[in-house]
Amino acid sequence: MHDSLLSFCQWLEQLSWVTAIANSPTMSPAVAVAHFFSFFLLVGTIAVIDLRLLGLAGRRQTLTQLAEQLFPWTWTGLGIAVLSGFFMFAPEAASFFYNAFFWVKLLVILPGVVFALIVQRNLRRWEELPAMPFLAKLAAFISLALWIGVLLAALEVANY
């Protein structure tokens, strides 16, 4: 599996559209800007909802109202971040293959997205209860910790 994945990464780097992105003076920076902004959109909207679950933000609106406003932006941010992230990955795929922080980032994103889906699925029910359940607050806390971990790993990807 290791050799197959590395071979795929090396093959990916050689594709003409990948080398065009890598050699473009405008495309590569534009992709990076799209990735950073979409990632901040993703993490920022999740953080606001998590902080609301913890009772620390957004108390003027119901949790449902806040979620209806923010979750479309969350999933838009995720989609753009995944797409732009792939375009950032492809020109240097073999280098990223050996970057431990890159793998940590990817592995921590997955449970972060799962927690966001759990929150989105359950928030209406949680809001109807007299007090926010402990498990909802725990999910919010874990979610925040995961996304902080993703951000820290992302910072180290460039320094590896």
Contacts of 156 (CB under 8 A, 6+ apart): 101
How many independent structural domains does the chain possess? 1
Predicted TM-score (pTM) of this structure: 0.90
58 has pLDDT over 80: no
User: Tell me, what's the pLDDT at 24?
Assistant: 93
Mean pLDDT of the chain: 94
Identify the sign of the CA torsion 28, 146, 55, 130: positive
How confident is the model over 64-113, as pLDDT tens digits? 999 999 999 999 999 999 999 999 999 999 999 999 999 999 999 999 99
1 has pLDDT over 80: no
How confident is the model over 13-26, as pLDDT tens digits? 999 999 999 899 99
User: Tell me, what's the pLDDT at 60?
Assistant: 86
* 3-state DSSP assignment of residue 66: helix
Domain range spanning residue 46? 2-157
Report the number of secondary-structure helices (H) and strands (E) in the chain. Answer: 7, 0
Contacts for 135-139 with beta carbons within 8 Å, 24 or more apart? 136/53, 137/53, 137/54, 137/55, 139/53, 139/115
How confident is the model over 2-49, as pLDDT tens digits? 889 999 999 999 999 999 998 999 999 999 999 999 999 999 999 999
